[in-house]
Amino acid sequence: MVSDAVLARLRGMLNDVAAQFAARLPDEGEGALNSSADQVDALAKQLATDASLLGYLHTVAIEGLLTERLEQRASIDPILSPLWQELIASTDPMIAEIAMQALAAQSRFMQAQRRMQHPMGEMPPDTLERALEVLARAPSISNPADAERAIGLLKSDYDEAESRAGQIARLVTAMRGGTIVALELEHAGFALFASALADRTAQPRERAVLACHKRQGARLALSLRAAGLDTAAIERQFLTLEPEEQAPYGLTNLSVETARALLLQSGTPGVQPELS
């Protein structure tokens, strides 16, 4: 699951996160680390020690790459999919408004991915908390009060509702019962597809994204079944994502409830299985 492209993005994003933190530290002046670039490198190295953080950024990189690949292979617009167009043109002004805001966030996300960046405001709250904890312990920070202040600044700037994942989740909620139409990749685009899949199967969004990766076919098939798709629709999604891979046989025999139960029981490497 780790290719060079993923690795490069992972490195880039780690550096970017470290830089965002370093930017909120005061200038150290003479005698301390001689340049902020060194500080950024040191912080990035510190961040890379945390497995859960790496796992999260890995998922982000995979989403970015998958979205790009879908554009090349299946001409699926990475930002404005047909479904998104429909939502923006919705007669319900509330949905149109939320869709527009979420679209802007999606466009920023794709731009950030091309630059291998990841704003801290885009992280889920738990991941952000973890990242800040790890950064605060970095040996390269000479004064703990500085770290404290930087954390305070970053925390007060944070609002999950403003993040891309938050905006899309809000859009998916606003679609009410209609989320099943977002489970058609060609129609919805990857971002809405992943959020709708997460919403309908009660999984974290990161896990829904990972399921779409190569060699996670069984998990994807199970998730799609749990979300209520029939065999033909599941096969279409496989064909779009990985043309050379086939959907597992016998899915029709698996009831939606059983699929849901199986999903709940299974954990993911790198992601803590949730107790529920």
Partner 1 sequence: MERQASLLAARGVTDDRDRLLSADDPLADLHARCGGTLPGTLAVPELLDLVQQGRRLGLKIAREFSAFDGVNMVSGFVRVHPRDGEVGGGCELFIDNWQSQVAPEPNSRDTAQRLDAIDRACAEATARLDRDQRVQIFDVTGPDLDLLREALSQFRGSVWTDHVSIEGMAHRQPMHWRLLDGARCRLPGSQRSWRARLLPVGQSNGAPLGFELFLVADYPFDADALDAESASAEQTHTQIIGASVTPVLRQPIARIIANAETIRSRLAGPLRAEYSEYAGNIASAGQHLGGLLDDLADLEVVEASDFSTAREPVDMGDAARRAAGIMGVRARAKNIELNLPIPEGSHIAMAEFRRVLQILINLVGNAIAYSPHNSTVTVAAHTAVDEGTVSLTVSDQGPGIAEDQAERIFNKFERLGRENDGGSGLGLYISSRLASAMEGQLGVTNAGEPGAAFRLTLPLNLSD
Closest-CA residue to 205 (of 194, 215, 216, 213):
194
Q: Measured from the CB of residue 167, what is the shortest distance to partner 1 in angstroms?
A: 9
Is the distance from CB of 265 to CB of 204 less than 8 angstroms?
Answer: no
Q: Binding pattern to partner 1, positions 76-95, x when CB under 8 A?
A: ------------------x-
**Nearest CB to partner 1, comparing residues 120 and 185:** 120
From 125-133, 212-220, 221-229, 261-269, span contacting partner 1 (CB under 8 A): 125-133
The secondary structure of residue 271, as a DSSP letter, is B
**Nearest CB to partner 1, comparing residues 172 and 221:** 172
Question: Token pair for residue 35?
Answer: 């340049």
Give the C-alpha separation, 80 to 83, whole Å.
Answer: 8
**Nearest CB to partner 1, comparing residues 120 and 234:** 120
If binding means CB under 8 A, how many residues of this protein chain bind partner 1?
A: 22
Give the C-alpha separation, 81 to 192, whole Å.
Answer: 9
**Nearest CB to partner 1, comparing residues 179 and 223:** 179
Q: Measured from the CB of residue 170, what is the shortest distance to partner 1 in angstroms?
A: 5
Q: Measured from the CB of residue 93, what is the shortest distance to partner 1 in angstroms?
A: 9
**Nearest CB to partner 1, comparing residues 116 and 180:** 180
| Max intra-chain CA distance, the chain | 70
Give the C-alpha separation, 206 to 271, whole Å.
Answer: 9
Binding of partner 1 at residue 16 (CB under 8 A)? no
Is the distance from CB of 76 to CB of 186 less than 8 angstroms?
Answer: yes
Q: Measured from the CB of residue 199, what is the shortest distance to partner 1 in angstroms?
A: 7
Helix (H) or strand (E) holding 52: helix 51-74
Q: Measured from the CB of residue 121, what is the shortest distance to partner 1 in angstroms?
A: 10
Q: Binding pattern to partner 1, positions 105-124, x when CB under 8 A?
A: --------------------
Is the distance from CB of 90 to CB of 174 less than 8 angstroms?
Answer: no
> Which residues make beta-bridge pairs with 271?
268
Q: Say what the alpha-carbon torsion angle 130, 133, 137, 140 is, to the nearest 10 degrees.
A: 80
> Which residues make beta-bridge pairs with 268?
271
From 10-18, 82-90, 105-113, 150-158, span contacting partner 1 (CB under 8 A): 150-158
**Nearest CB to partner 1, comparing residues 239 and 256:** 256
Interior CA angle at 62 toward 48 and 160, to 5°? Answer: 75
Site for partner 1 in 155-214 (CB under 8 A): 155-156, 158-161, 163, 166, 169-170, 172-174, 176, 199
Q: Which residues in this chain contact partner 1 in the complex, by CB under 8 A?
A: 94, 97-98, 125-126, 128-129, 155-156, 158-161, 163, 166, 169-170, 172-174, 176, 199
